Amino acid sequence: SSYFPSWVMHCTERTFVAIKPDGVHRGLIGRTIARLEDKGYSLVALKLLKPSRTLAESHYESLRSKPFFGDLVSFITSGPVCAMVWEGKDVIGQVRKLIGNTDPLTCAPGTIRGDFGIDIGRNIIHGSDSISSAEREIQLWFHSEELVDWNPSLHEWVYEKV
């Protein structure tokens, strides 16, 4: 958006992140947000909700044929889910790295799933896996007026001017 100085225009990639019900129940919202803030990324939207079945099924529609799909949808709809949009340079790929592999037992220590999870069906957090899925998921979970355009003052200390 034109609100950003030209030198941060390349830092406006966005991703959808959700702390799943296990992460919320275990009190991991604050620490998860802290990790993404610590990296230098900026929060664009945030809400706590109990997702509808329609929302959960459409979020995970590519997994509809999997044997665990029913359990996955029941789990996600049990809520609460902390749904967020984060912004910054390469945020989609970097958040996937910060989260770790799908199976927490294969994650490196230091990743969110590696530090806090054990079972694949209780892996704490979701992050979009590509530009197209990020766009789809942000639209699915948020109305456009819920996305906040702001100019974080830390940008000038996180990004080198180009």
124 binds, among Mg ion, ligand GDP, none (CB under 5 to 8 A by kind): none
Q: How many residues of this chain bind ligand GDP (CB under 6 A)?
A: 9
135 by Cβ neighbours in 10 Å (0-12 / 13-18 / 19+) ranks as middle
Bond into 80 cis (ω within 30): yes
Select the residue interacting with ligand GDP from 52, 102, 106, 139 (CB under 6 A): 102
Of 10, 25, 59, 126, which is the active-site residue? Answer: 126
14 binds, among ligand GDP, Mg ion, none (CB under 5 to 8 A by kind): none
Among residues 131, 76, 125, the alpha carbon closest in space to that of 100 is found at 125
123 binds, among ligand GDP, Mg ion, none (CB under 5 to 8 A by kind): ligand GDP
Site string for ligand GDP, 31-70 (x = CB under 6 A): --------------------------------x----x--
Tokens of 141: 């979970």
Identity of the residue, 20 or 155, whose beta carbon is nearer to ligand GDP in the bound complex: 20
Tokens of 127: 């992050």
Query: Does the annotation list 102 as a binding residue?
Result: yes
Identity of the residue, 11 or 76, whose beta carbon is nearer to ligand GDP in the bound complex: 76
Site string for Mg ion, 123-152 (x = CB under 5 A): ------x-----------------------
Tokens of 88: 């910054």
Q: How large is the C-alpha radius of gyration of the chain? A: 16
Rounded to an integer, what distance in angstroms lies between the CA atom of residue 57 and that of residue 52? 9
List all residues 6 or more positions away from 98 whose beta carbon is below 8 Å from its beta carbon: 35, 36, 39, 111, 112, 127
Query: Does the annotation list 64 as a binding residue?
Result: no
Among residues 71, 67, 93, 78, the alpha carbon closest in space to that of 20 is found at 78
Determine whether 126 is an active site residue: yes
Which sequence positions are flagged as catalytic?
126
Positions that interact with ligand GDP (CB under 6 A): 63, 68, 72, 102, 120-121, 123, 126, 129
